[in-house]
Amino acid sequence: MIDITEEYLKERIYEIRGQRVILDADLSEIYGYTTKEDLTKYSKFLMTGLITIIIISLINIFIKAPMLYWVGTILGVVIFSGLIAFDINRIKYIAYNIAGSDEEMVEKMGIIGALNLYLDFINLFLYLLRIFGKKRN
């Protein structure tokens, strides 16, 4: 009986942590849209982080270190949360600048912006799945 209760509590803690991370991702969306700060100054930091994640993943293919796996995963969550805020801020800035111009250009920029956000959300979801997903043996 005690083992079942402990296992349930562990699962519940993981669920709560997952909900917290999802809430943080929502907060990065809200921050990216509502801030008056121009987030383009963080673009070099975010792109460097993205390249770092790729390098860590490539290295970890060969050495298979669990610690490196978790460092890359947590770094991925942080970087993609930042990229969501950055992309939303950039889309808002572009939309305000081209609002009165060519309709075709506005439509193309909307598609590109949606694609960027889609990729950010998918990658964030994959990194969260690495953290909170259960492995089956």
Kindly give the confidence (pLDDT) of every residue in the chain, 137 residues in length, as a single tens digit, with 9 standing for 90 and above: 455 556 555 666 666 566 666 655 566 666 666 667 777 788 899 999 999 999 999 999 999 999 999 999 999 999 998 898 888 888 888 877 776 777 777 788 888 888 998 898 889 888 888 887 766 55
Is the pTM for the entire model greater than 0.75? no
Question: Residue 61, exposed/middle/buried by CB under 10 A (0-12, 13-18, 19+)?
Answer: exposed
Instruction: Look at residue 98 and give its three-state secondary structure.
Output: coil
* Residues 87, 64: Cα–Cα separation, whole Å: 32
- Cα dihedral 94, 96, 102, 104 sign: positive
The 10 Å Cβ neighbour count of residue 83 is 26
Cα 132–chain centre separation: 15
